[in-house]
Amino acid sequence: MSVDLAVDVGSLRLKNPVLTASGTFGYALEYDDFFDVSVLGGICTKGLSILPRAGNNPDRIAETSAGMLNAIGLANVGVEAFCTEKLPNLRARGVTVIANIFATTVPDFVALAERLDREEGVAAVELNVSCPNVDKGGIEFGVDPVAAGRVTAAVRKATKLPVWVKMSPEAGDLKGVGIACQEAGADALTAINTIRGLSIDVRTWRPRIFNKTGGLSGPAIKPIALRMVWELSRAVKIPVIGIGGIATAEDAIEMMLAGATAVQVGTASFVDPLASKKVLDGLGAYCAERNIAARDLIGRFIQT
Amino acid sequence: MSVDLAVDVGSLRLKNPVLTASGTFGYALEYDDFFDVSVLGGICTKGLSILPRAGNNPDRIAETSAGMLNAIGLANVGVEAFCTEKLPNLRARGVTVIANIFATTVPDFVALAERLDREEGVAAVELNVSCPNVDKGGIEFGVDPVAAGRVTAAVRKATKLPVWVKMSPEAGDLKGVGIACQEAGADALTAINTIRGLSIDVRTWRPRIFNKTGGLSGPAIKPIALRMVWELSRAVKIPVIGIGGIATAEDAIEMMLAGATAVQVGTASFVDPLASKKVLDGLGAYCAERNIAARDLIGRFIQT
Amino acid sequence: MSGAVTAASDCRSVRALHRVTLKDRKAIGSAYHVLTFESAEPIVASAGQFAMVRSETWGSAPLLPRPMSLLSAGKDPSILIKVVGEGTRRMAASAPGEPYQLLAPLGKSWSKIPAATRPVFVAGGVGVAPLLLLAEELASAGGPKPLVLYGGRTAHDLPLLDQLRAVSDVRIATEDGSAGTKGRVTVLLSAALDEVGVHNQLAKVYTCGPHAMMAAVAAMCEGRVPCEVSVETPMGCGYGVCLGCPVPKVSGGFLYACTEGPCLDATVIDWGHRKAGA
Amino acid sequence: MSGAVTAASDCRSVRALHRVTLKDRKAIGSAYHVLTFESAEPIVASAGQFAMVRSETWGSAPLLPRPMSLLSAGKDPSILIKVVGEGTRRMAASAPGEPYQLLAPLGKSWSKIPAATRPVFVAGGVGVAPLLLLAEELASAGGPKPLVLYGGRTAHDLPLLDQLRAVSDVRIATEDGSAGTKGRVTVLLSAALDEVGVHNQLAKVYTCGPHAMMAAVAAMCEGRVPCEVSVETPMGCGYGVCLGCPVPKVSGGFLYACTEGPCLDATVIDWGHRKAGA
Ligand SMILES: Cc1cc2nc3c(=O)[nH]c(=O)nc-3n(C[C@H](O)[C@H](O)[C@H](O)COP(=O)(O)OP(=O)(O)OC[C@H]3O[C@@H](n4cnc5c(N)ncnc54)[C@H](O)[C@@H]3O)c2cc1C
Ligand SMILES: Cc1cc2nc3c(=O)[nH]c(=O)nc-3n(C[C@H](O)[C@H](O)[C@H](O)COP(=O)(O)OP(=O)(O)OC[C@H]3O[C@@H](n4cnc5c(N)ncnc54)[C@H](O)[C@@H]3O)c2cc1C
Ligand SMILES: Cc1cc2nc3c(=O)[nH]c(=O)nc-3n(C[C@H](O)[C@H](O)[C@H](O)COP(=O)(O)O)c2cc1C
Ligand SMILES: Cc1cc2nc3c(=O)[nH]c(=O)nc-3n(C[C@H](O)[C@H](O)[C@H](O)COP(=O)(O)O)c2cc1C
Ligand code: FES
Ligand code: FES
């Protein structure tokens, strides 16, 4: 493809705007049978914590109309195992790695960022301040501009890596949170994380997932994500990366028109492990057909 | 059916918990060809304003995955025409009528409530403080506990009718808004109104609806609505009426288990004008089979 | 919302949700299909009325039923569809036996053709459906034989041409010249209006097709001959409760396509109004 | 998440998304169906492995593919389904020609049967699928003939009984007594374990079926004979990225059914763990 798909997320140039969303793509090594993941703009790792986490009890997932609920509980190998066991392989494959990190305190966020700062092959850190599925921490940071700004500023100081902050759709003042993160030195905002939902089995009167509530993802939330990305991208100067229900190239284009500089494919990878590659191929074809660069789509939604 | 389906929404006894949602059932007179709407627990009228409103420019609706966006703009005949042209017919048919009202100022809300208070055949007023589709007013009341409490208290004083307040899913502090309304004298909370979303046509780069954003409704939002109804019903003592994506009896049962005293069927009536009746019939069969009353379902979700 | 100005007749029969079965699907060219259903109870409808159509297999997505003009009514109602999106794509892939629901008959039909008037139909693509049914109604009632001006992009975009010829005088225009006159159907209309002018005939135009075509037809008729259009708007419910189908009026405010239309006097409509997404 | 204790063999072939076509659907009784597909490339798999199955017609709802044990592999892979919800309802209604995607082969297969060991299979309902394939693999490899204890609610809940009889010694139990011994399949297992004890034989139990049945089988085997189970959990992806399929371990923590299972040593699993919704 001679079409120019590169986009700049702040100082970070991505070869194309198609990334994969944290928690929906493992550590990317799981895709060796399916396709060469280094063709993607980048991959976001499963959320990493300082210590390994086993995650929530089953059941962790349940399907809803055009969506799914999950309460995985941030099961992950821990940042140390990630750096020693996963990252070298990713580096060898030439994958652009965004490390999604999760903690319940500001010092722990800082420790995670410092640990990753020492490694080669991490392109950016993404702060998950918006996970709805853990008892403590996570979302409290993401719904409050002051707290979000505080954690962002602390991480900003602790690392040379670009800092992305992942927005919670449950913030009453989403723009305020975004602006606070921008002012605290975030390089980009990613939006959105899942939206808390509930599902009850009418035969047993019990919740379908052990954690009771879970995060809603998939096509069902796309219009909401799109609206939030549009609002956010008009409120801040830093790039916004769009996430939520993206399953096709058209979905990615819609998200970029709304103001996203890049996109992340999430739940769609469960439906088809090749989904992210297909989104990329389709985006390339769309741009080629119209003879435009991918960056020409960003925020070009006609609003008059 | 010998099964007992009656529920009490505060002092208002409904013969069964199946209502229809405002804006999705017209003025109920449109159903004469389809079924006798007086079998329902009640109907909520299209949002009424003091003066008639023409509504937004087309296009007003667009479909999304398992949902739809709408920005009708509260087109309605006005409260006066409602009282003189619609209400007498509803009264004659024995329909339990909940008048959904909309205004941009507290005095206008009060004026609407006073006007309806003079009529016979209105069972309750439902304050739409959560409409996402109008330039001015509506949602500002619904996302702020203080403002929501203020309008509720004013309407409470102006009418003897039960006052229901319709919650916005966009309130950062949903429980706070609910509690404020309860303390201001609301008889019930209804939740949820639509969630703002966006959809862009990737051929034309224009919004699919004229108003750009619209409210998302339908099965896509059901898990979110269910979670909010569950949270609200545990935070307040007054009844909560559940709305959002209810299309089948199972959906209604799930909503009641989560804590709803009654439910409203919305978008499903577009898919099938008989949807609300089918929900009612299915609920009756479910209760009969288990030999329980409808009220035995309320909040009985097993959480241990 | 109130009793508005419409050109349509008041022919009305009871609307109902009919559970039907797909009896036959005939593909015409690449994009068009005629779907014929089997209905236990006959659907009593007049030309111009429509049905909200949905396959029971759709589950929760696609969600809403799709408005489709009735190509025929009775116990084997049929529709002519063009594939433009997910709903029509599924209809075009469905096999005999598939259960459907038809909410019908809906909307106002075409108004009666005034006495001693030459009916001139202008059809574009699937817009032919309600006009073919109208021509058939006229034929079986012994009414005047309409002149039908039928346009499409190519010769492949003229579905049901033979059926149309059986009940009307047809003239054709295609944009690529692959059948009939090369150009848009409005060229034919211009000539036809001149003819009736020369013969001092009364005429009335009925048109259904793409928005731009109907707007052009309406403009050409304005001040010369009465013109009635069948509008297409997105629809949520099809029976007047969602208020999702407004058509802007010249006099301000809106008509609702599903209850006050789809057949409307062209002069009532504000054609200049920009459509979202268009 | 790390290299955990599993009883399963390491037989592995390349996983891929196969676009296939439904070739044949055979209904068995009211709730069971065998779906046979046509695949351009052969799927190389061993008994116990599964596929994530999805019809291309589903659109965005149902959203996720459904895990199904492979009943056979190769160029005409097949599955045995029981209708329990929306996804299986649609599979049961699909007609030959419908395009499907199969992500396969996934998961760990049954472990090899140790030398000089009597294989005892305990199957319940659709759990028969991976055990029938295992029996067929044994038969074609000239391995020992397994004893299969097959249970169901009624005689109608014993799909593929004849195929099973062709490759194994089958004993049947039904809860209503309509076929074989009246009672649960565990009654048969008790007798079978006593027999092998009397004959001083080595035995190994392989079981697949409802959770409660497998838990009971595992409990009966504990301390007497090795037991391997094929677990069923909800699955998001089927290939190890969503972490939606945890199986609680006795030693704490979880195994992931899609990559570390579904075939697992029964003693590793914490059977007492309450399932949500159950
Ligand atoms: C009264 C009436 C009668 C109609 N009769 C016919 C008919 O006989 N045959 C036929 O093929 N079509 C007819 N249409 C148009 C038909 O309803 C749309 O083509 C159909 O709803 C598109 O559904 P979809 O899921 O395939 O496309 P979608 O994916 O929903 O949309 C695809 C494209 O079609 C546009 N569109 C969506 N809904 C409509 C609509 N209601 N009207 C116009 N454009 C729309 C969208 O903006 C989009 O550009 C009629 C419409 C109306 C209102
Ligand atoms: C490795 C594996 C192999 C399987 N092999 C077969 C097979 O060969 N044949 C067969 O019929 N079924 C098999 N299953 C179970 C099958 O996946 C589920 O029955 C199916 O996903 C239900 O989908 P649905 O849309 O019909 O039901 P849903 O509407 O999704 O759910 C209906 C009911 O089934 C339960 N359920 C949902 N998913 C699963 C699941 N993955 N496992 C167990 N229960 C579930 C739900 O809790 C609910 O009670 C297997 C499951 C696994 C994990
Ligand atoms: C199973 C699952 C696990 C997830 N885990 C994480 C996570 O660890 N960290 C995070 O920031 N987001 C996580 N997410 C959220 C996704 O990254 C994404 O924001 C969300 O799913 C919306 O996108 P989608 O609709 O395309 O899936 C997870 C989502 C799912 C479905
Ligand atoms: C077309 C449309 C119009 C609506 N108009 C109103 C309204 O006038 N007043 C109001 O309070 N809610 C209105 N609503 C919101 C519904 O009453 C309901 O809260 C929402 O649609 C969620 O329920 P559902 O998913 O079952 O449709 C409207 C919804 C739709 C889809
Ligand atoms: S389509 Fe709902 S009012 Fe016309
Ligand atoms: S199903 Fe996704 S990790 Fe097992």
Task: Give chain A's residues under pLDDT 70.
Answer: 1, 131-139
Query: How do beta strands D50-55 and D66-69 pair?
Result: antiparallel
Q: Which atom of ligand 3 is nearest to the CA of A44?
A: 17
Picking from A24, A75, A218, the nearest residue to D63 by CB comes out as A218
Q: Using CB atoms within 10 Å of the CB of residue B304, give its burial: 0 to 12 exposed, 13 to 18 middle, 19+ buried.
A: exposed
pLDDT confidence of residue B145: 93
Instruction: Inspect the interface and report whether the beta carbons of A207 and D103 lie closer than 8 Å.
Output: no
pLDDT digits (tens, 9 = 90+) for B119-176: 999 999 999 987 666 655 566 788 889 999 999 999 999 999 999 999 999 999 999 9
Q: For ligand 3, say whether the CB of A21 is within 6 Å of any of its atoms.
A: yes
Mutate to test the pocket of ligand 1, among C34, C88, C213 (most ligand atoms within 8 A of CB): C88
What are the distances in angstroms from CA B153 to CA B12, B110, B112, B159, D245?
19, 10, 14, 10, 50
pLDDT digits (tens, 9 = 90+) for D182-196: 999 999 999 999 988
Instruction: Inspect the interface and report whether the beta carbons of B66 and C61 lie closer than 8 Å.
Output: yes
Instruction: Inspect the interface and report whether the beta carbons of D59 and C95 lie closer than 8 Å.
Output: no
Q: For ligand 4, say whether the CB of B169 is within 6 Å of any of its atoms.
A: no
Task: Check whether B179 has a pLDDT greater than 60.
Answer: yes
Mean pLDDT of the B225-245 span: 98
Nearest of D188, D154, D147, D141 to residue D169 by alpha carbon: D147
Q: For ligand 2, say whether the CB of D49 is within 6 Å of any of its atoms.
A: no
Confidence of residue C6 (pLDDT cuts 50, 70, 90): very low
Instruction: Inspect the interface and report whether the beta carbons of B66 and A219 lie closer than 8 Å.
Output: yes
Question: Cα A241 to chain center, whole Å?
Answer: 8
pLDDT digits (tens, 9 = 90+) for D134-176: 999 999 999 899 999 999 999 999 999 999 999 999 999 999 9
Quote the CA–CA distance of B284 and A5 in Å, as a whole number. Answer: 57
Mean pLDDT of chain C: 92
Q: Decide if D56 contacts D101 (C-beta within 8 A).
A: yes
Structure tokens at C245: 């189908």
ipTM above 0.85, yes or no: yes
- Residue in chain B closest to D61 (alpha carbons) equals B66
pLDDT digits (tens, 9 = 90+) for C36-84: 999 999 999 999 999 999 999 999 999 999 999 999 999 999 999 999 9
Q: Best mutation site among D60, D86, D274 for testing chain B: the one with the most B CBs within 10 Å?
A: D60
How far apart are the CA of D211 and the centre of ligand 2, in A? 12
Instruction: Inspect the interface and report whether the beta carbons of A30 and D64 lie closer than 8 Å.
Output: no
Mutate to test the pocket of ligand 2, among D46, D49, D50, D68 (most ligand atoms within 8 A of CB): D68
pLDDT confidence of residue C2: 36
Q: Decide if C75 contacts C39 (C-beta within 8 A).
A: yes
Chains touching C (at least 3 CB pairs under 8 A) are: A, B, D
Q: Which amino acid is at A115?
A: R
Quote the CA–CA distance of A19 and A265 in Å, as a whole number. Answer: 6
Picking from B24, B57, B208, the nearest residue to C242 by CB comes out as B24
Quote the CA–CA distance of C23 and C34 in Å, as a whole number. Answer: 11
Across C194-228, b (16+ Cβ under 10 Å) vs e yields eebeeeeeebbbbbbbeeebbbbbbebbeeebbbb
Q: For ligand 6, say whether the CB of D246 is within 6 Å of any of its atoms.
A: no
* Beta strands in B81-171, from DSSP E residues, in sequence order: 97-101, 122-128, 163-166
Structure tokens at B254: 């799930």
Task: Check whether B87 has a pLDDT greater than 90.
Answer: yes
Nearest of D16, D48, D108, D36 to residue D77 by alpha carbon: D36
pLDDT confidence of residue D197: 79
Alpha carbon distance, N-terminus to C-terminus of chain B: 33
Mean pLDDT of chain B: 95
Mean pLDDT of chain D: 92
DSSP A60-107: -EEEETTEEEE-----B--HHHIIIIIHHHHHHHT--EEEEE--SSHH
pLDDT confidence of residue D5: 33
Confidence of residue D265 (pLDDT cuts 50, 70, 90): very high
Question: Cα B221 to chain center, whole Å?
Answer: 14
Q: What is the CATH number of domain D16-106?
A: 2.40.30.10
pLDDT confidence of residue C77: 98
pLDDT confidence of residue D174: 96
Q: What residues in D contact B219, CB-CB < 8 Å?
A: 61
Sign of CA dihedral A289, A291, A296, A301: negative
pLDDT confidence of residue D29: 82
pLDDT confidence of residue A43: 98
**Percent of chain A scoring above 70 in pLDDT:** 97
Sign of CA dihedral C198, C200, C201, C205: positive
Q: Is D237 on the interface with A (CB under 8 A)?
A: yes
> D101: which strand partners?
D19, D54
Task: Check whether C166 has a pLDDT greater than 70.
Answer: yes
Cβ contacts of residue A21 below 8 Å, gap of 6+? A44, A243, A264, A265, A266
Q: What residues in D contact A270, CB-CB < 8 Å?
A: 64-65, 236-237, 241-242
pLDDT digits (tens, 9 = 90+) for D84-127: 999 999 999 999 999 999 999 999 999 999 888 999 999 999 99
pLDDT confidence of residue C278: 39
- Is CATH 3.40.50.80 correct for C117-230? yes
Nearest CA-CA distance, residue B274 and chain D, Å = 22
Instruction: Inspect the interface and report whether the beta carbons of A247 and D54 lie closer than 8 Å.
Output: no
Q: For ligand 4, say whether the CB of B255 is within 6 Å of any of its atoms.
A: no
Instruction: Inspect the interface and report whether the beta carbons of B34 and C236 lie closer than 8 Å.
Output: no
Which DSSP helix (H) or strand (E) runs through B157? helix B145-158
pLDDT confidence of residue C272: 84
SS3 C89: helix
Q: For ligand 6, say whether the CB of D237 is within 6 Å of any of its atoms.
A: yes
Task: Check whether D201 has a pLDDT greater than 90.
Answer: no
- Which residues of chain D form CATH 3.40.50.80? 117-230
Q: For ligand 5, say whether the CB of C243 is within 6 Å of any of its atoms.
A: yes
**Percent of chain C scoring above 70 in pLDDT:** 93
Q: What residues in D contact C60, CB-CB < 8 Å?
A: 61
pLDDT digits (tens, 9 = 90+) for C81-134: 999 999 999 999 999 999 999 999 999 999 999 888 999 999 999 999 999 999
| Nearest protein Cα to ligand 4, atom 14 | B23
Q: What residues in A contact B254, CB-CB < 8 Å?
A: 199-200, 202
Q: Best mutation site among A63, A64, A65 for testing chain C: the one with the most C CBs within 10 Å?
A: A65
pLDDT confidence of residue D11: 42
Mean pLDDT of the C16-21 span: 97
Nearest CA-CA distance, residue D253 and chain B, Å = 21
Taken in order of first residue, the domains within chain A and their CATH numbers are 7-297 (3.20.20.70)
- Which residues of chain C form CATH 2.40.30.10? 16-106
How far apart are the CA of A88 and the centre of ligand 6, in A? 24
pLDDT confidence of residue D10: 40
- Residue in chain C closest to D90 (alpha carbons) equals C57
Q: Decide if B150 contacts B112 (C-beta within 8 A).
A: no
pLDDT digits (tens, 9 = 90+) for D13-42: 789 999 999 999 999 987 999 999 999 999
Q: Which position among B44, B83, B131, B287 bears the catalytic label?
A: B131
HSE-CB at A104 with a 13 A cutoff on CA atoms is: 9
Q: What residues in D contact C93, CB-CB < 8 Å?
A: 57
HSE-CB at B162 with a 13 A cutoff on CA atoms is: 21
